[in-house]
Chain A
Amino acid sequence: MNIVYHGIAVPDMKQLPPDWPGGFFWHWLVFTVIIFTFVFTLVMAFTWVERRGLGRMQSRLGPNRAGPFGILQPVADAIKVLLKEDIVPSRSDRIVHWLAPVVAFFPALLIFAVVPFQNGALLADLDIGILYVVAISSVSTVGIFMAGWGSSNKFSLLGAMRNVAAVVSYEMPLVLAVIGVVLIAGSLSMNQIVLAQDIPLILLQPLGFLIVFIAGCAEINRSPFDLMEADSEIVAGFHTEYSGMKFAMFYLVEYAEALALSAIIATLFLGGWRGPVLPPWLWLVIKVFAVFFLMVWTRTTLPRIRIDQLMALAWKFLFPLALINLAITGLQVVAWPDALPWTMIIVNFAIAAVLIVLWSRLFKVGWGRVEV
């Protein structure tokens, strides 16, 4: 049984038993095809949701010409960008310039190897699951660096520099907040983390969810943290000198990373594939879309921040909060492992609210001056 999703048939993952019996290579083949289909379909859906959603929130129509409600717009975009001329700057480092989109793209795809679509339905149920995600996603930075350097363009280089500043700074609050989830679930495996969530962990870790969401958005260059491709300052950042197919790859990377972040947040905090009535994979897709909608919402609501504000937010706001969150979570896991869930939910929400209010009083993110 297949369902049709924006014109593309998605295999029904419910039919796959938890321990796929066809041997190693069949398992690999089936899940590789599923992951490719999942990523490309949802990336196309994401671009549509983003452009139409932005349009709606900004009191304009958005793309509505190609197909009903403009749902064929991603196809039109893809065809347009593939027909463009591929321009390589004459002074560029050709090999690096050519390899950069590939190096940036594959880590984004590899992350989905550990995202469970159902109990046990994933490419590789690694025991180190979330650590693998953190490790693999850090490789993307090298690709962006290669793009920035290989173009031999000052704007590309500035964009790459800003990107590495953001990634290095926001990696720490992100990982510290994820450790809170790992502490509660008692495993690094993504599948085990989902199985451990009888109630979605966003209720037990509200502060952790916010930190992961903000830090994740900063790492994947989502607005309001899209300093590294800030059009008004540095043209288009690291992909200024890219066109045609290679630009399409970077565009794909951007949305594949947004999809990866949504899928990871859905898995870690929203209970992954778990949910009543509907099939598990559909629950995952619904949760992924919910997280992505939040991203579109923040993008359209908040103006782009400055580079000093970006750094200040990471080091003065998120990092201390992530440390405190980790300490409190560790204390709760050790001291009251059997506490009633709703007591903990109320306590944790109260702690999160108090900490956020307190910290936003303690410091302001830049007042139009750069602190040295």
Chain B
Amino acid sequence: MGLVIAFWVLAVLAILSALGVVLLRNVFRASLSLVLCFLAVAGLYITLSADFLAAVQVLVYVGAISVLIILAIMMTRNVPQGNPSNKLAIPVFIVAAAFLAVMVYAVTGTAWPVSTQPPLEPTTAALAIKLFGEGGFILPVEIAAVLLLAAVLGAIVVAREK
């Protein structure tokens, strides 16, 4: 019962704040709405017993990505007015609506397999064994780290003045 209430509150909050990101004229407020959306999604992870994922969601999306988005917004002009609209608004709306329809059809039409096992209590250790244990994903994890390092170096090279 409590979980159902929590789910609906968080789901409505997530969708409303996501709409806020798109509809608010003021770009700064839109980015704050994005922060709220990320927090609501983190809450949804908690209701799914994925506490580690929820903490990482807050850390990465709220603490890092949103902050960088806000920092970038502060560098731009005319923040309260928002972006000037152009002729692409209606085509984009049609494409987005079609995409939403496909998504809704796919999600509601699929018979999702539901695990009958109780959720793992300490998720951290299980997650670590899955990632770094035998037959795990240690090589992809390491390669992802190297890839991110390459991205950082690339950004520095691009941004550096000669």
Contacts and interface: CB of A to CB of B under 8 A. Distances in A.
B59 to A, nearest CB: 4
B124 interface: yes
Interface stretch (A61-69, A124-132, A244-252): A124-132
A141 B66 CA distance: 10
Given A96-B28, A149-B74, A138 B63 contact: yes
Interface string A133-170: 01110110110011001000000010011001001100
B51 A127 contact: yes
A188 B122 CA distance: 10
**Interface residue range, chain A:** 20 to 34
A128 B124 contact: yes
A352 to B, nearest CB: 26
B51 A96 contact: no
A308 interface: no
A271 B123 CA distance: 25
Contacts of A167: 67
A284 to B, nearest CB: 24
Interface residues of B, number: 27
Interface string A77-111: 00000000000000001011000000000000000
Contacts of B80: 93
A146 B32 contact: yes
Contact of A142 (B26, B55, B59, B66): B66
Contacts of B64: 138, 168
Interface in B33-83: 35, 39, 51-52, 55-56, 58-59, 62-64, 66-68, 70-71, 74, 80
B70 A96 contact: no
A132 B67 contact: no
B67 A141 contact: yes
Nearest to A141: B67
Contacts, number: 72
Nearest to A150: B28
B29 interface: yes
Main SS of the interface on chain A? Answer: helix
Contacts of A164: 67, 70-71
Contacts of B70: 142, 145, 149, 164
Residue from B51, B52, B59 having most chain A Cβ neighbours under 10 A? B59
Contacts of B32: 96, 142, 146
A96 B74 CA distance: 14
A95 B80 CA distance: 13
Contact of B67 (A93, A145, A157): A145
B62 to A, nearest CB: 6
Contact of B52 (A95, A128, A149, A160): A128
Contact of A131 (B55, B62, B71, B122): B55
B67 A128 contact: no
B26 A93 contact: yes
A139 B63 contact: yes
Given A146-B32, A157-B74, A139 B62 contact: yes
A164 B121 CA distance: 35
A146 B51 CA distance: 27
B74 A142 contact: no
A142 B51 contact: no
Contacts of A145: 67, 70
Contacts of B26: 93
Nearest to A99: B32
A142 B67 contact: yes
B51 A128 contact: yes
Nearest to B51: A128
B74 A138 contact: no
Given A149-B74, A188-B124, A142 B35 contact: yes
Given A141-B63, A142-B70, 20 more contacts: A95-B29, A96-B29, A127-B52, A128-B51, A128-B55, A131-B55, A134-B55, A134-B59, A135-B63, A139-B39, A139-B63, A142-B35, A145-B70, A149-B74, A157-B74, A160-B74, A161-B71, A164-B71, A171-B63, A372-B161
10 contacts: A127-B52, A128-B55, A128-B123, A132-B55, A135-B58, A135-B62, A141-B63, A142-B62, A168-B67, A168-B68
Interface of A: 93, 95-96, 126-128, 131-132, 134-136, 138-139, 141-142, 145-146, 149, 157, 160-161, 164, 167-168, 171, 188, 372
